[in-house]
Amino acid sequence: MSMARCRAGNVPVGTDRSRATTEGAASHRIEAVTGLRPTVAGTRGSGHRASEQLALRARRAHGGGMGAQEGPTLITSVQRAFRLLEAVGAHEGGAPAKQLARETGLALATTYHLLRTLAHDGYVRKLEDGSYVLGEKLGVLHDASGTQALLSRVRPMLGSLRDHLSAAAYLTFYEDGEIRVAEIVDGPQAPRAELWVGFEDAGHATALGKCVLRELDDEARQEYLSRHSLADLTPRTITHRGELLRRLDAFPDDRAVTDLEEYSLGTVCVAVPVYRGDTLGSLGVSLRADRSSTIQVASARLLAAANRVTRGLSLTI
């Protein structure tokens, strides 16, 4: 015979011996990863079947065997971090790392690593006595979650405005001394205005911004204008403070405020005030300039919607 065989395992010398060695190494690797001890056949020609068995056992070890439902891919480290946050939040006065490790079932070293990372990013805070409490970043997330829930209530109302008027609908709030856009609902037949200048710097030139400014008291209005220059955005933009104030107060009984190409040439807007509790805001739509004759219709629709939006925004979550 041209090729000798080993008596003990009947394994051919040469290529077959190399194959057996390779399969043995693969078996050890899979055992290390999955915690399972694979069974390797020792007969000639069984290498391919053994490899298939090993692959199948590895898939089953991770929940992916044949006939099993494939679940979502989950990141274990993220789950551990959230479990740790829940444990921290369960102790009003804080808890030390060792106690948190016991309660979560995490290794102490893992607990320390996760707490260090969470503290670095502001999700937990370490007290002087070594205990951990929830950090300020979670408060920010909680507030954002509340705002998202409120916006989800009124988004259908903005969608209704868009559909009835064929115009993009906008919602702003006056927060921390700035006029900020909270939501825009547009569509193919109702494109939004090109926001080429941020609303925080264009309150004097937009219907949404002027609507907010008109509702502010004199002190708050003057304080806002002292921090914002009246930039010349188009030939129609009001750039003199006295003229702007005069126009804001010209029609006190008219709740709707317009922007006639003052922010962007080719675009007109109309807005009315809304409230989220004590927070002032504005609700508006933008139209092409050639549709300016429909502003009165849009104003009436906005006024009716503003009451519903204010109620939706003011309900307790």
- Per-residue pLDDT, 107: 95
- Distance from C-alpha of 125 to C-alpha of 116, rounded to nearest angstrom: 9
Three-state DSSP class for residue 37? coil
- Distance from C-alpha of 68 to C-alpha of 278, rounded to nearest angstrom: 54
- For the chain, the domains span 15-61, 76-134, 150-314
Whether 282 and 211 have beta carbons less than 8 Å apart is answered as yes
Topology (CATH) of 150-314? Beta-Lactamase (3.30.450)
Task: Tell me the average confidence (pLDDT) per consecutive run of 10 residues in the chain, 317 residues long.
Answer: 44 47 47 44 46 49 49 87 93 93 94 94 93 88 71 90 96 94 94 87 95 95 95 96 94 90 96 94 96 95 94 74
Topology (CATH) of 76-134? Arc Repressor Mutant, subunit A (1.10.10)
Place of tokens 């000798």: 4
- Per-residue pLDDT, 194: 87
pTM for the model: 0.62
- Per-residue pLDDT, 249: 92
Residue 168 CB-half CA count within 13 A: 21
- Distance from C-alpha of 177 to C-alpha of 224, rounded to nearest angstrom: 7
Q: Determine phi and psi for 205, rounding to 5 degrees.
A: -115, -5
User: Within the chain, how many helices (H) and strands (E) appear?
Assistant: 10, 7
Q: Tokens standing for 259?
A: 């922007």
- Per-residue pLDDT, 53: 53
What are the Cα distances from residue 172, in Å, to 151, 154, 207?
11, 12, 11
- Distance from C-alpha of 191 to C-alpha of 168, rounded to nearest angstrom: 6
Beta bridge partners of 187: 190
Q: Determine phi and psi for 145, rounding to 5 degrees.
A: -65, -40
